A and B are shown apart, each in its own frame.
Chain A
Amino acid sequence: MSGETKFAFRTENLVKTYGQGDGQVDALRGVNVEIPAKEFVVLLGPSGSGKSTLLNILGGLDKPTSGKVYFNDIEVSAMKDKAMTKYRRHNVGFIFQQYNLLPSLTALENVELVTEIAKQPLPAKQALEMVGLTDRMNHFPSQMSGGELQRVAIARAIAKQPSVLFCDEPTGALDSQTGRTILNILQDINENLGTSIIIVTHAVATAAMADRVINFADGNIVDIRTNAHKAKADEIEW
Chain B
Amino acid sequence: MSSLDRKLFRDLRRMKWQAIAIGLVMALGVMVLVMMDGLVVSLEETKKSYYEDYKLADIFAPTQAAQSQVLVELAKIDGVENVQGRVRGSILIDMPNSKTGVLAQALSLPNQGKAQINDVFLSAGRMIAPDVANEILLLNSFADAHNIKVGEAITAIIGGQKQQFNVVGVAQAPEFLFAAMPGELLPDDTRFAVIWMQQRYLEDITGLAGKFNEAIFLLDDDADTTNILTKIDDILDPHGGYGAYGVEDLVSNRFISEEIKGAKASAQALPPLFLGIAAFLIFIVISRIIQAERQQIGLLKAFGYSSAEIGRHYLKFIIIIALGGAILGSVAGVYGGLELAGVYQIYYKFPFLEFRVDYQAIFIGNLVSVVAATIGGSYILKNIFKLNPAVAMHAATPPDFSKSIRFGSWAKRLFNQPSRMIIRTLLRHPIRALGAMIAIASGMSLSVAMISLMASFDKSIEMSFEVIDRSDAMVNFVQPMPIDVVAELSKIAGIELVEPFRAVPAILQNGQLTHKSLISGLVAAPELNRAVNVEFEAIPIVETGIILASALAEKLQVGVGDDLTLKIRSGARPTLNIKVAAITETLVGSPVYMRLASLNKILDQGELISGVYIKMDKSQQAAIYDELKSTPYILAVSITADAKAAFKKIMDTGAGAVRYVMAIIAFVITFGIVFNSAKIAFAEGGRDLACLRSIGYTKGEAAYVLLGELAIVTLVSLPIGCVLGYYLSFATATAFSTDLYKIPAEVNFESFFLASLAVVVATIVSGWLVKRNIDKIDLVSVLKSE
A61: B residues at CB distance < 8 A: 301-302, 388-390, 393
User: Does B630 sit within 8 A of A, measured CB to CB?
Assistant: no
The answer on a CB contact under 8 Å between A81 and B304 is: no
Q: Which residues of A sit under 8 angstroms from B781, Cβ to Cβ?
A: 103, 142
Judge whether A102 is part of the interface by a CB distance below 8 angstroms.
Answer: yes
In the complex, identify which listed stretch (B7-15, B43-51, B522-530, B561-569) lies at the interface while the others stay far away.
B7-15
Q: Is the CB of A62 within 8 A of B7?
A: no
Distance of A77 Cα from B385 Cα, bound (Å): 17
Which residues 353-378 of B sit at the A interface, judged by CB distance below 8 A?
Answer: none
Q: Are A113 and B303 in contact (CB under 8 A)?
A: yes
Shortest distance from the beta carbon of B294 to any chain A beta carbon, whole Å: 13
Q: Are B3 and A62 in contact (CB under 8 A)?
A: no
Contact (Cβ within 8 A) B402 A116: no
Give the CA-CA distance A85 to B393 in the complex, in Å: 15
Question: For the complex, is B64 an interface residue (Cβ under 8 Å from A)?
Answer: no
Write out, one digit per residue, whether chain A residues 97-120 have a CB within 8 A of any chain B CB (1) or not (0). 010111111000110111011100
CB of B299 within 8 A of chain A?
yes
In the bound complex, what is the Cα–Cα distance between A101 and B301 (angstroms)? Answer: 13
Using A94-B302, A109-B7 as known contacts, list a sample of 17 further A-B pairs with CB atoms less than 8 Å apart, ordered by residue number in A.
A61-B389, A62-B391, A87-B304, A88-B301, A88-B302, A88-B303, A88-B389, A100-B786, A102-B7, A104-B7, A104-B14, A113-B3, A113-B7, A114-B304, A141-B785, A146-B784, A149-B784
Give min CB distance, A154 to chain B, whole Å: 14
Of B11, B305, B391, the residue contacting A85 (CB under 8 A) is B305
6 A-B contacts, Cβ less than 8 Å apart?
A61-B388, A86-B304, A88-B304, A88-B389, A112-B3, A142-B781
Task: Decide: A62 and B784 in contact? CB cutoff 8 A.
Answer: no
Bound-state Cα–Cα, A89 to B300, Å: 10
Residue A180, interface by CB 8 Å: no
Does A90 sit within 8 A of B, measured CB to CB?
yes
**Inside 8 A of A181's CB, which chain B residues have their CB?**
none
A3 to B: closest C-beta gap in Å: 30
B304 touches A104 (CB 8 A): no
Q: CA A166 – CA B785 in complex, angstroms? A: 21
State which residues 745-786 of B face A: CB under 8 Å: 778, 780-781, 784-786
Interchain CA distance A82-B785 in the complex, whole Å: 29
Chain A contacts of B10 at CB under 8 A?
104-105
Asked if B307 is at the interface of the complex by the 8 Å CB criterion, the answer is yes
Shortest CB-to-CB span from B107 to chain A, Å, is: 73
Select the residue from B14, B296, B305 with max chain A CB neighbours within 10 A.
B305
Residue of A nearest to B298 (CB): A61
Q: Nearest residue in A to B307 (C-beta to C-beta)?
A: A81
How many whole Å from A30's CB to the nearest CB in chain B? 20
Q: Are A56 and B390 closer than 8 Å at their CB atoms?
A: yes
Q: Considering only CB atoms and an 8 Å cut-off, how many residues of chain A contact the other chain?
A: 37
Beta-carbon contact of B299 and A102 below 8 Å: yes
CA distance A60 to B402 in the complex (A): 28
- From the candidates B3, B309, B785, name the one contacting A142 in the complex (CB within 8 A): B785
Interface string of B389-411 (1 = CB under 8 A from A): 11101000000001000000000
Residues of B within 8 A of A81 (CB): 307, 385
Set of chain A residues within 8 Å of B304, measured between Cβ atoms: 85-90, 114, 117-118
> Judging by beta carbons under 8 Å apart, are A105 and B3 in contact?
yes
Q: Is the CB of B391 within 8 A of A113?
A: no
Closest beta carbon of chain A to B773's beta carbon, Å: 16
In the complex, which residue of chain B has the Cβ closest to the Cβ of A108? B3
* Chain B min CB distance to A141 (Å): 6
Contacting residues of chain A (124-150) with chain B, CB-CB under 8 angstroms: 141-142, 146, 149
What are the residues of chain B within 8 A of A109 when measuring CB–CB? 3, 6-7
Please state if A89 and B785 are interface contacts (CB–CB under 8 Å): no
Given B3, B14, B393, which contacts A100 in the complex, CB threshold below 8 Å? Answer: B393
B299 is contacted by which of A62, A100, A149 (Cβ under 8 Å)?
A100
Asked whether any CB of chain B lies closer than 8 Å to the CB of A68, the reply is no
Can you list, as one digit per residue, whether each of B525-567 has a CB less than 8 Å from chain A (1) or not (0)?
0000000000000000000000000000000000000000000
Q: With an 8 A cutoff between CB atoms, is B641 at the interface?
A: no
Q: Is the interface of A mostly helix, strand, loop or mixed?
A: helix
What is the interface of chain B, defined by CB distance below 8 A to chain A?
A: 2-4, 6-7, 10-11, 14, 296, 299-307, 309, 385, 388-391, 393, 402, 778, 780-781, 784-786
- Is B303's CB under 8 angstroms from A89's CB? yes
**Interface of B, helix, strand, loop or mixed by DSSP:** helix
Which of B2, B306, B785 contacts A103 (CB under 8 A)? B785
Residues of A with C-beta under 8 A to B778: 142
A23-B402 contact given A85-B301, A88-B301, A113-B3, CB 8 Å threshold? yes
Given A63-B388, A101-B785, A85 and B307 contact (CB-CB distance below 8 Å): yes
B780 cross-chain contacts in A, Cβ below 8 A:
142
A98 touching B2 by the CB < 8 A rule? no
User: Between A and B, how many residue pairs show CB distances below 8 Å?
Assistant: 89
| CB under 8 Å from chain B, chain A span 24-74 | 56, 59-63
Per the bound structure, the CA–CA distance linking A88 and B392 in Å amounts to 15
Q: Which residues of A contact B402 (CB under 8 A)?
A: 23
Q: How far is the CB of B562 from chain A (nearest CB, A)?
A: 70
**B306: chain A residues within 8 A (beta carbon):** 82, 85, 89
User: Which A residues lie within 8 Å of B4 (CB)?
Assistant: 113, 116
Q: Which residue on B lies nearest to A94, using beta carbons?
A: B302
Which 7 A-B residue pairs are closest in the complex by CB-CB distance? A89-B304, A142-B781, A62-B390, A88-B304, A104-B10, A61-B390, A56-B390
Contact of B303 among A23, A114, A146 (CB under 8 A): A114
- Give complex CA distance A49, B296 in Å: 26
Give the residues in chain A near B14, CB-CB below 8 Å.
104
A104 to B391, CA, bound (A): 22
Chain B residues lying within 8 Å of A118, measured Cβ to Cβ, are: 304
A100 to B304, CA, bound (A): 15
Q: How far is the CB of B300 from chain A (nearest CB, A)?
A: 8
CB-based contact A89/B305 at 8 Å: yes
Among B300, B385, B780, the most chain A Cβ lie within 10 Å of the Cβ of B300
- Distance from A63 Cβ to chain B, minimum over Cβ atoms (Å): 6
Expressed in whole angstroms, the minimum distance between the Cβ of B3 and any Cβ of chain A is: 4
> Complex: how many Å from CA A140 to CA B336?
44
Residues of A within 8 A of B393 (CB): 61, 96, 100
Centre residue among A60, A86, A89, A102 by max chain B CB count within 10 A: A102
CA distance A113 to B4 in the complex (A): 7
A98 to B395, CA, bound (A): 10
Q: How far is the CA of A94 from the CA of B393 in the complex (A)?
A: 13
A90, A116, A156: residue with the most chain B Cβ atoms closer than 10 Å: A116
Q: Which residues on the B side are within 8 Å of A114 (C-beta)?
A: 303-304
Bound Cα distance from A100 to B785, whole angstroms: 7
A109–B389 Cα distance when bound, in Å, is 21
**Closest approach, in angstroms, between the C-beta of B398 and any C-beta of chain A?**
10
CB A208 to nearest CB in B, in angstroms, measures 30
Q: By the criterion CB–CB under 8 Å, are B389 and A62 in contact?
A: yes
A238 → chain B closest CB, angstroms: 24
In the bound complex, CA of A63 to CA of B299 (Å)? 16
CB distance from B583 to the nearest CB of A (A): 67
Tell me the nearest residue of chain B to A110, going by C-beta.
B3
- Chain A residues closer than 8 Å to B6, beta-carbon distance: 104-105, 109
The residues of A that contact B785 with a CB separation of less than 8 Å are 101, 103, 141-142
> Are A62 and B303 interface neighbours, CB within 8 A?
no
Give min CB distance, B185 to chain A, whole Å: 64
State A98–B299 Cα separation when bound (angstroms).
11
| Chain A residue contacts of B11, Cβ below 8 A | 104
Q: In the complex the two chains form, what is the Cα distance from A156 to B768 in whole Å?
A: 40
- Which residue of A has the minimal Cβ distance to B8? A104
Kindly state the separation between the CA atoms of A91 and B377 in the bound complex, as whole angstroms: 30
Please, which residues of chain B bring their CB within 8 A of the CB of A86?
Answer: 304
Asked whether A142 lies within 8 Å of B301 as measured between CB atoms, the reply is no
Residues of A within 8 A of B2 (CB): 116
Q: List chain A residues, Cβ under 8 A from B302.
A: 59, 61, 88, 94, 100
Q: How far, in angstroms, from A135 to B389 measured CA to CA in the complex?
A: 32
Residue of B nearest to A106 (CB): B6
Q: How far is the CB of A192 from chain B (nearest CB, A)?
A: 23
**Chain B residue at minimum C-beta to C-beta distance from A144:** B784
- Is the pair B3, A116 in contact by a Cβ cutoff of 8 Å? yes
